Amino acid sequence: MATDVKVPALGESITEGTLAQWLKKSGDTVAADEPIASLETDKVTVDVPSPIAGVLTETVAKEGDTVEVGAIIARINESGSATPAEQGADSSPTNPSGAGESPQPRGSEEAPDAEPAAPAPATAEPAEAPAPAGASADQDGITTLSPAVRRAVLEHHVDPTKIRGTGKDGRITKDDVLAAAKSKETSREAAPAPSPEPEPAQQPKAQAKAAVAGERREERVKMSRLRQTIAKRLKDAQDTAALLTTFNDVDMSAVIDARERYKDLFAKKHGIKLGFMSFFVKAVALAARDVPSVNASIEGDEIVYHDYLDVSIAVSAPKGLVVPVVRSADAMSFAEIELAIAEYGKRAKEGTLGIEDMQGGTFTISNGGVFGSLMSTPIINPPQSAVLGMHRIEDRPVAVDGQVVIRPMMYLALTYDHRLVDGREAVTFLVRIKEAIEDPTRLLIDL
């Protein structure tokens, strides 16, 4: 008896997604709750688990298709074996425009920032090329990887076809990728000098160089759903809100001294490093009490004020910027804030953030300083009314008590919706943050 595999609920207000990758092919044996496909939504990538144990007998949708919640994408035979017709069937659905056409390489739509894969030689026969030991391969010769493993492969620039998988059924795990990357780095350090790649035997050296020098290439890659959503939301924010940015700078000496003094004790007690972000989250919570409009939002003709602070922390992920929410941050300790941010950062890199992790949020903090940004004008995350931009710390000459001294300074930028936040309130909010960072004792005694 065959059981239908349907697109699961993807979260509030999300009705469809893109079938990014088949993790299993027709004829594969699957266990109950084992991921068989990867779906990309407007916010996250989620795996579709098998509802039962059995054999995947049919894939109804193909990679790149838009599928609605509740739609059937595959069927699984719980008897444990595929029918003769199904065993000989191709793993991908029939292509109405031409039978035998190879499917598009995996990752071309969901990892736009990845390096383009080199085209296979025209004389290659994918069906005859054996899969490497420990890895499972589709009929088109492309190794099947889970989203987390695929991101690790792209991040560490390793060849998955040369990795021996230690997971179930020989599947490649993330630990396998990390081990291969470490081995590659060790080999690179041990080698006296990199060896040049051999020139093709059938092509003269001069001709090969001329071809590379004169080559002009273009590549068209479809935007991922996440990138499309980011683009739409940012443009909507510009079209809807009256955006204005105000700046200030802050002397980071006191925070740097506090971190240096207590970093070992803090790490020993809480198991996490003391970072700058917890100081700024606490400073924002303190400043929002004096300027509540910065932590408010507009709904229709009403202003919604929040007596809590749910901070959206902008995190760079392989597919783009994501903003997981640290909820009730105003009631959290420094350690709790650091632990929450570290966990979100790890899950963002692995691609395991859930939709619920990014819903809500009353204020956003974006730290462009980790990439070396000196100054920027961030865009708000609707329906929020403000976003704080942090930047890099650099030594600059400043006047203190009539003397020119060198201090570690950081520029702060507050972009806000001028429909709700007045200029006086925005400046006051930034000054409160500046005061708290330059004198962290204020954070402890609530001043």
Active centre residues (catalytic): 418, 422
Q: Whole-angstrom Cα distance, residue 330 to residue 294?
A: 14
What the block records as the tokens of 330 is: 């105003």
Alpha-carbon radius of gyration of the chain:
26
Distances (CA, A) of 168 to 53, 64, 134: 14, 27, 10
Strand, coil or helix: 245: strand
Q: Is 124 exposed, middle or buried (0-12, 13-18, 19+ CB in 10 A)?
A: exposed
User: Residues 109, 115, 116, CA angle at the centre, nearest 5°?
Assistant: 65
The residue assigned the tokens 């300790």 is 333
* Residue appearing with tokens 């084992």: 34
Residues 6+ apart with CB under 8 A from 191: none
Strand 363-367 to strand 311-313: parallel, antiparallel, or no bridges (unpaired)? parallel
Phi, psi torsion values for 360, nearest 5 degrees? 85, -150
Please report the sign of the dihedral spanned by the C-alpha atoms of residue 221, residue 225, residue 226, residue 229: positive
What SS3 state is found at 223? coil
Residues 6+ apart with CB under 8 A from 249: 409, 410, 411, 412, 434
Nearest to 26 by CA among 51, 62, 52: 62
Pairing relationship of beta strands 243-251 and 403-417 according to DSSP bridges: antiparallel
For residue 183, the one-letter residue type is S
The whole-angstrom separation of Cα 218 and Cα 197 is: 24
Residue of 426, 447, 440, 387 whose CA lies nearest to 248: 426
CA 105 to centroid of chain Cα atoms: 21
Nearest Cα to 365, choosing from 346, 394, 347, 340? Answer: 340
Asked if residue 157 lies in contact with residue 177, where contact means CB atoms within 8 angstroms, the answer is no
Cα dihedral value 152, 153, 154, 160, nearest 10 = -170
